[in-house]
Amino acid sequence: MSDDPVSEVPTQRDPEQSDAMPIVPYRVLYADIPFYSDAECKQEVAEARISILEALDPDDELVEWDVVPSLNRYEPGQLLQWTLNSKQLWEESWYRNPETGQIERAWTLHVEFIGQVLSQQTLKENEETLKAIEAKMAAKHKEKIN
């Protein structure tokens, strides 16, 4: 048996291809929205709230919202990293769309969203990249409207 340190173990390398999920920031559009276990929105789920997020991915052809349950408190405008907690989930739920006031199904089954807020340092270090993404997203939104 050798007394050599663990660093002697060969380094693992990624192949030329990447299996990593691309890092796409998510913007909080709406936060602190109650959700309900019934379609009439009378039985509020007290322990959690909905946040509505938009992926800042200019290459995604669809502009859609992600409606996510969370025990965390988020604020509109925050940029987040996508992270889920598979140990906490909610079954069929409904909410009132903050733009229309209409009752909509939120999901049939969803795990908890626990995304981390991007730090000020991270935002500053990536300011130019974020500006470029914002410009592409604005053009994409304009296209959708026209």
- Domain of residue 34: give its range: 21-136
CB 95 within 8 A of CB 106: yes
Is 116 inside any structural domain? yes
SS (H, E, C) 13-80: CCCCCCCCCCCCCEEEEEEEECCECCCCCCCECCCCEEEEEEECCCCCCCCCEEEEEECCCCCCCCEE
- Does residue 5 belong to any structural domain of this protein? no
- Is residue 76 a contact partner of residue 133, using CB atoms and an 8 Å limit? no
Rounded mean pLDDT of 61-68?
87
pLDDT digits (tens, 9 = 90+) for 81-94: 898 999 999 999 99
Which band of pLDDT confidence, cut at 50, 70 and 90, is reported for residue 97?
very high
Task: Assess if residue 6 is contained within a domain.
Answer: no
Q: Is residue 12 part of a domain?
A: no
